[in-house]
Amino acid sequence: MTPRRILVYHPHEAEAYARLVKAPKAAIRLDVCATPEEAAASIAEAEILYAWKFPTDLLAEGANLRWIQAMGAGVERFLVHDLPPHVRITRATGMFGRWMAEYTLGWCAWVAQRMETFREAQRQRRWLALDPQPLHGRTLAILGLGDIGSAIARAGASLGMRVIGVSRSGRNQRGVAAVYPPSALTRALSQADFAVAVLPLTPETRGLIGEAELRAMKPTAWLLNIGRGPVMDEGALVGALRRKRIAGAILDVFETEPLPPDHPLWALPNAVITPHISGPSVPAEIAPVFNDNLRRYLAGRRLRHLVDRSRRY
């Protein structure tokens, strides 16, 4: 049996991912790559690509590619026009919800518990008797109710928040008080004390939150974006934050990453910037998904977490 060639690609942790691949030695051969140059030398032979931040332009050279397993949740970088239709793409799923729920609720608590204010008062040795705001009873709107959005919904509900959501289908979901279709996005946003966007980047979601959507929000509301930067119209967001049309924004993703040093968002006191860390890919958490799919692939069985290429997620 000729071994199946697997290109393992990650700019910093390729070795760690490769060490965790489980398959009979004779069945596979691993090419472990950390740079575009290394990947360029291996892509033509690769049947399976297991990758994070893979150089998109190299996909066209993957003449033998049959399956791409993303090490992350978002797959837009693999959905290039010239990727032949027989190449299956699978996502990593199941591990990000917990991380992103902690991020979301953590930053909601940062707002409600006035953490920055109290730390600042402490630095000034000032006894600032100011009540926190509750999270219980406040409305958390979740844009995108996939496995990550659903985990955030459970976490919000566990603190007594009123959870509402927006999903493609608009179908009711357990634990979510009201689910709206995308056409009712502003209705959902208008109720939110906190709104969190956890949407994939598709032609439908690009620029989804713009001037009108921000205007629909309460002036006391906070907006979090933890999915993909281009879902937000950044110019409109900067304008809304400057004019205090919303209270603030917690942003983990941006149109351009890393966020350029001269970007106006850095300087806004009501914007919090984190460097795309809300749902980290941890080799030991991703490996079981890949290994399960690899077993299936080698046995000619159906892969799990397949991307619907027409929906683009």
- Reported for 79-82, long-range contacts at CB under 8 A and 24+ positions apart, including other chains, are 79/307, 79/309, 79/312, 80/56
Least distance in Å: CB of 162 to ligand GLV?
28
CA distance 66 to 178: 40
Q: Closest separation between CB of residue 44 and ligand GLV, Å?
A: 26
What would the two tokens of residue 210 be?
Answer: 């713009």
Nearer to ligand GLV, 180 or 254 (CB): 254
Pattern of binders to ligand GLV over 16-55, x per CB under 6 A? ----------------------------------------
Site string for ligand GLV, 261-280 (x = CB under 6 A): ------------------x-
Tokens representing 182 are 């995308």
Shortest distance, position 272 Cβ to ligand GLV, whole Å: 18
Residue nearest to ligand GLV (CB): 72
C-beta of 70 vs 217, nearer to ligand GLV? 70
Closest distance of CB 253 from ligand GLV, Å: 7
73/145 with CB nearer ligand GLV: 73
Per the annotation, the verdict on 86 as an active-site residue is no
- Judged by beta carbon, residue 178 or residue 283, the one nearer ligand GLV is 283
Q: Which stretch binds ligand GLV (CB under 6 A): 66-74, 125-133, 151-159, 288-296?
A: 66-74
Q: Could you tell me the smallest distance in angstroms from the CB atom of residue 148 to ligand GLV?
A: 9
Q: Assess 72 for contact with ligand GLV (CB under 6 A).
A: yes
Size of the site for ligand GLV (CB under 6 A): 5
Question: Does the annotation mark 119 as catalytic?
Answer: no
Q: Which one of 206, 215, 245, 276 is the catalytic residue? A: 276
Least CB distance to ligand GLV at residue 289 (A): 12
- Is 257 among the catalytic positions? yes
Q: What HEC string does the chain produce?
A: CCCEEEEEECCCCHHHHHHCCCCCHHHEEEEEECCHHHHHHHCCCCCEEEECCCCHHHHHHCCCCCEEEECCCCCHHHCCCCCCCCCEEECCCCCHHHHHHHHHHHHHHHHHCCHHHHHHHHHCCCCCCCCCCCCCCCEEEEECCCHHHHHHHHHHHHCCCEEEEECCCCCCCCCCCEEECHHHHHHHHHHCCEEEECCCCCCCCCCCECHHHHHHCCCCCEEEECCCHHHECHHHHHHHHHCCCCCEEEECCCCCCCCCCCCHHHHCCCEEECCCCCCCCCHHHHHHHHHHHHHHHHCCCCCCCECCCCCCC
Q: Does 73 bind ligand GLV (CB under 6 A)?
A: yes
Check binding of 97 to ligand GLV (CB under 6 A): no
Q: By CB under 6 A, name the binding residues for ligand GLV.
A: 72-74, 279, 281
Residues marked as catalytic = 228, 257, 276
